[in-house]
Amino acid sequence: MKVSLWHNNRDIRIQDAPVPEPAAGEVLLKVMACGICGSDLVEWYRLPRAPLVQGHEVGARVEKTGPGVSRFRPGDRVMAAPKVPCLKCSYCRGGHFPQCSEVKERLGGGFAQYVLVPKSIVENGLYRLPAGVSCEQATFIEPLACVVRAARLGGATEKKTVLVLGSGVSGLLHIRLAKLRGCVVAATDVNPGKLELAGKAGAQYLIPGDEDVPARLIQETGRKADVVMVCTGALSAIEQAWRSVDQGGSIVFFAVPGPEKSVTMPLNDFWTREIRVLTSYYCGPPDIREAMDLLASGRIEVDSLVTHRLPLEEIAAGFALLLEGRDAVKVIIEPNGPSRGS
């Protein structure tokens, strides 16, 4: 089979590898679609494990099952979580599934024609797709689940004013979800094209990211934001977040700058105003189930976010498109040929 071996964002090699044979409890998937996530481009996060086969937003068909697997059959359309919590440790019992201390197995990279699903993920993280959800749409389940969790942590509920800083694919999903939940939504981006997409996604107020965002927010909505979703690692956006949150509000870091960059928080100001500063990393099983339901019911639409579909052999071009940051929103890799409708 063909796999994409990532050394860094500008050194991605297509190589041959043997097709894995599923052992007891394991499942072999034929990857129909795999999305390039923004985190796949974050070199400081990925380089310590390089070279590696990336890709964790997988929509696939079951190719073969190992002994003892009865819930899945060849041909089933599925998505696989990149990792699964134990559901028993203190972190899981407290709802902090991404911090589970017992995670030992991870899904192999989806930028390959086939991927082997470990037994623990087969048991608790392999999901049969609902009717009407394609393998391509399945690549949005995990990122949408992360958005669902962040919105819950930040308190993005009905009638709250939500400011989304950065209108890439994660920002656009935040906008769609906040709009669905009855929030007043404002969005920013330095790219006029992405700001236009934010409007189509449901943001009522569009603010160019290179303007005085807090002033424009107050001018447009009459107040600061109850919830600020930081969906970009740009330091300028973080400064905007500090100045855009209202009293009693929350700032959720869905994206962060590199570890070499220094961030100063106005703690004294936030103390008197009771501001919550939160981080949101990954998701848990309840979030995945909710994301699947949002897609299956049609309440969250994602097809319009896909701007490029590329074969595995052109994955380097897909990374380049996203690094350039102009026209690309969601880039889908199709390791086994066109996947639309599958």
What pLDDT, in 10s, does the model give residues 170-223? 999 999 999 999 999 999 999 999 999 999 999 999 999 999 999 999 999 999
Q: Determine the Cα angle at 332 with ends 259 and 34, to 5°.
A: 75
In terms of phi and psi (left: phi > 0; alpha: psi -120 to 50; beta: otherwise), the region of 77 is beta
Range of the domain at 271: 145-279
- Same domain for 160 and 253, yes or no, is yes
Can you give the three-state secondary structure of 305-325, one letter per residue? Answer: HEEEEEEHHHHHHHHHHHHHC
Q: How confident is the model at residue 104 (pLDDT cuts 50, 70, 90)?
A: confident
- Same domain for 220 and 130, yes or no, is no
User: What's the structural domain count of the chain?
Assistant: 2
Q: Is residue 287 part of a domain?
A: no
For a pLDDT cut of 90, what percent of the chain falls above it? 96
- Same domain for 66 and 170, yes or no, is no
- Same domain for 69 and 153, yes or no, is no
- Same domain for 157 and 99, yes or no, is no
Give the Cα separation of 295 and 306 in Å (integer). Answer: 15
What is the average pLDDT across 164-175?
A: 98
The DSSP bridge partners found for residue 311 are 334
Instruction: Write the pLDDT tens digit of every residue in 239-268.
Output: 999 999 999 999 999 999 999 999 999 999
The alpha carbon of 109 is separated from its chain's Cα centroid by a whole number of angstroms, namely: 15
Integer Rg of the chain from CA: 20
Q: What is the CATH number of the domain that holds 62?
A: 3.90.180.10
Is there a contact between 142 and 288 (Cβ–Cβ < 8 Å)? yes
What pLDDT was estimated at residue 103?
86
- Same domain for 125 and 171, yes or no, is no
- Same domain for 13 and 130, yes or no, is yes
What pLDDT was estimated at residue 341?
67
- Same domain for 115 and 155, yes or no, is no
Taking each helix axis from N to C end, the angle separating 235-244 and 213-221, rounded to the nearest 10 degrees, works out to 40
- Same domain for 271 and 154, yes or no, is yes
The token duo for 190 is 């330095």
Least Cα distance to 331 among 60, 342, 314 occurs for 314
Q: Is residue 80 part of a domain?
A: yes
